Chains A and B, each alone.
Chain A
Amino acid sequence: MRRAIKYLFICLCLAPLLFGVIYSLGYSLGLAGLLSDGFTWDYWIGLINSGNLMRSTIYTIGLGACSLIIAVMAALVVSWKSGRYGVDHRSSISKSKAEVLILLPLLFAPVTAAFCWYQILSPGGFIARASFHLGLIHETSEFPRLVNDDLGIGIVICHVFLILPVFSYLFTATAHKHRLHRLYLQSNTLGASSWYFFKKVYTPMLLQKNMRVLWLYLIFLLGTYEVPLLLGGSRSQTFSVFIADKLTRFNLGDIPSGYCMAIWYTVLITVMTALYLRWQKSILW
């Protein structure tokens, strides 16, 4: 039975993945495709010289890291508050209305969330219009650019909106599972302040227990498509937007560049994952 499952895993998961990687590599080196003229490094050299490889790498990792850090920090606060540390002595997970509300964003598909945030944050959006009617700005165009901007502020906001509920629930459940409330009461009895407990025990413990999930979410964020497509600027493109752009534009000669980026993305994720596993192993030992 176990052997059958392994075969199935190889056939259904591993082989198609490797097939795709090898095919992409072949395409990026001019070995595949109807218009290929044989082996060449030209597409790789062109991609590197254009600066797009470096730009997309920095932009994508930067956006992913910012979104993750902000979401984690906010989720720690939400879980701390919902656990009612320092408020009363209830150790159960709070079932308050606020907790239900914070899970609502899980109902949004990324593309819907991106559209909503566009409507909220754009200079013609709800906040800009409200600011105009309140006399805070003289024209809606004076509203600061939060979507389609170079820094990707709208993308980060939308990502945080989408992943905050997951982390909040995860941290709350982890804290509950590891009985952190009891630990909090003990440390409190011994004279530690709430802030000290939050900083020295609560945060490190939750991060350590959920490091693998956080890592997976970072990888998920590096690969998102709809949100950067709708809310991103034109100057820098994330990996996914760049790849889709090259694979679907009018120049068939651009397709290999898209595959080059896809291969680079795969290598980057693989190296990052290997480093992460090595780091985890070193912690365990």
Chain B
Amino acid sequence: MASPYIRLLAILLLLPVVSLSCGSEVAQSPSENVPADWSTIATQAQGSTVHMMMWQGDRLINKYMQDYVTPRLSELYGIELIVTDGQGNQVVNRLMAELEANRKTSDLDIVWINGETFYQLRQIDALYGPFVQKLPHADLIDLNNPFISMDFQQAIDGYECPWGNVQMIMIYDSLQTSDLPQDMTEWSRWVQDNPGRFTWSNDFTGMTLLKSWLMSLADDPSVFYGEFSEDLYTTYSKQLWARIENMRPYLWNEGRSFPASLAQLHQLYVNGEVDMTMSNNDSEVDNKISQGVFPTTSRAYVPAMGTIQNSHYLGIPRLSDNKVGALQVINFLLSPEAQYEKSQSAVWGDGTVLDRDRLSPDWQAKWTGLAQRSHAPPREEISKRALQEPAPEYMIRLFEDFRKRIIEQ
């Protein structure tokens, strides 16, 4: 007869076996009886609590949510918004764990996502939708704009709602650097002329630069739009790795290592170890100067080869049990009032997803008078050099090959 301890352990160990056996099953959503008409949604959302997961790494963004969004939602709809910290992979891991555990409801009602996260959440069928057309303020968005309606070349199909729009910029110190590289050929030359003064982070932002370079190697970057093409990737990535290999001895730390995150790259820039840093948020330079992080002589530019512009979105987990509350919150975040507040440089400086032509004359006038940022070129100007995000597989392959062909060599 086995000892009682061993029996207890055996019973407990059966749990993972049971869990594994049902791990691949898709969890059922809570009742999806979201009313069709907005007035019923608004009534049901009144006084509810909405849990939102978003990246909280920026003081200005946090302030916008805490000091503006939360009190306004409470004042207008009696909704209590509870914001928790988490981004990209944390959102995916959280929702994936809930689905794998066959939970009936999610802890989250809204998630702040973009590109690769949307791709992953759609892969595991973790998002509720389509819901965007239910939102009254969705009429103010130009959903025919490919920078809004396509997320990493994947149609959003109403499964995520555009919230803001940004473009990648390069940041430099205007006192130290003047001759700015405009394409990959010039970059190679610039790096050789300034040995040890340039690098990029081995993360999303760094890979976005590599994507921009990759696309610039083609005569027409739009060949990268659409579904992933192995042939296209192979052809141009060969050129990309060859150029990076040539550039490598002149990179920071002779290309033997790369900063693990954008924060580390910013640190190198602030320490004066490199001449340039970068950001996927075109307002970053103004934000960081106002926070006293970057030197006031820092400036941003978009090279002539173009950089990737993309939107960021709000999604509703399929297992959320307060979808009506989530819809009301998202609709408010899309309102001209909330979008205008967010667009101000001193507040967040995020690009709006609203089509200004669809706004009322009052709001149009207000937007026209919006103070421009002072350390980065105007958004209208850099938009002329905007590239669409290619399919997510390009990012995945660049990550893998960057490690294999550059880092590990």
Interface residues of A (CB under 8 A from B): 6-7, 10-11, 14-15, 18-19, 22-23, 26, 31-36, 50-51, 118, 122-125, 140-141, 145, 148-150, 229-230, 233-235, 247-252
Contact B93 A34 (CB under 8 A): no
Contact B89 A22 (CB under 8 A): no
Contact of B13 (CB < 8 Å), options: A7, A19, A32:
A19
Minimal beta-carbon separation of B293 from chain A (angstroms): 15
Contact B96 A10 (CB under 8 A): no
**Chain B residues near A141 (CB-CB < 8 A):** 196, 273
Residue of B nearest to A118 (CB): B267
**Chain A residues near B264 (CB-CB < 8 A):** 230
Residue of A nearest to B408 (CB): A235
A-B contact pairs, 21 of them (CB 8 A): A10-B5, A15-B9, A15-B12, A15-B15, A18-B16, A22-B16, A31-B20, A31-B23, A34-B96, A34-B99, A35-B123, A36-B24, A122-B271, A124-B273, A230-B260, A234-B257, A235-B256, A248-B88, A250-B204, A251-B396, A252-B92
**Chain B residues near A123 (CB-CB < 8 A):** 273
Contact B24 A33 (CB under 8 A): yes
Residue of B nearest to A252 (CB): B120
Interface residues of B (CB under 8 A from A): 5, 8-9, 12-13, 15-17, 19-20, 23-24, 26, 88-90, 92-93, 96, 99-100, 116, 119-120, 123-124, 196, 202, 204, 253, 256-260, 264, 267-268, 271-273, 392, 395-396, 399-400, 404, 407-408
Interface of chain B, main secondary structure: helix
Known: A11-B12, A23-B20, A33-B24. A247 touches B93 (CB 8 A): yes
A10 to B12, CA, bound (A): 9
**Chain A residues near B258 (CB-CB < 8 A):** 234
A141 to B258, CA, bound (A): 15
Contact of A140 (CB < 8 Å), options: B96, B202, B273:
B273
Residue of A nearest to B203 (CB): A249
Contact B257 A149 (CB under 8 A): yes
Known: A10-B8, A22-B13, A34-B99. A229 touches B268 (CB 8 A): no
**Chain B residues near A148 (CB-CB < 8 A):** 253, 257, 259
Minimal beta-carbon separation of A146 from chain B (angstroms): 11
A230 to B259, CA, bound (A): 9
Known: A22-B17, A36-B23, A122-B273. A248 touches B89 (CB 8 A): yes
Contact B16 A11 (CB under 8 A): no
Interface centre among B24, B92, B196, B407 (most CB of A within 10 A): B24
A226 to B204, CA, bound (A): 20
In the A-B complex, the 4 residue pairs with the closest CB atoms: A124-B271, A15-B12, A248-B89, A233-B257
Contact of A250 (CB < 8 Å), options: B8, B20, B120, B273:
B120
Contact A32 B257 (CB under 8 A): no
A178 to B54, CA, bound (A): 56
Contact A235 B8 (CB under 8 A): no
A202 to B309, CA, bound (A): 66
17 other A-B residue contacts (CB within 8 Å) besides A19-B15, A250-B399: A10-B5, A15-B12, A19-B16, A26-B20, A31-B20, A32-B20, A33-B100, A34-B23, A124-B272, A149-B256, A149-B257, A248-B93, A250-B116, A250-B119, A251-B399, A251-B400, A252-B124
A80 to B268, CA, bound (A): 41
**Chain B residues near A11 (CB-CB < 8 A):** 8, 12
Minimal beta-carbon separation of A132 from chain B (angstroms): 11
Interface centre among B93, B99, B260, B264 (most CB of A within 10 A): B260
**Chain B residues near A252 (CB-CB < 8 A):** 92, 120, 123-124
**Chain A residues near B204 (CB-CB < 8 A):** 250
Residue of B nearest to A6 (CB): B5
**Chain A residues near B259 (CB-CB < 8 A):** 148
Interface centre among B16, B202, B204, B258 (most CB of A within 10 A): B16
Residue of A nearest to B25 (CB): A34
A234 to B261, CA, bound (A): 11
Minimal beta-carbon separation of A148 from chain B (angstroms): 5
Contact A250 B13 (CB under 8 A): no
Contact B124 A34 (CB under 8 A): yes
Residue of A nearest to B403 (CB): A234
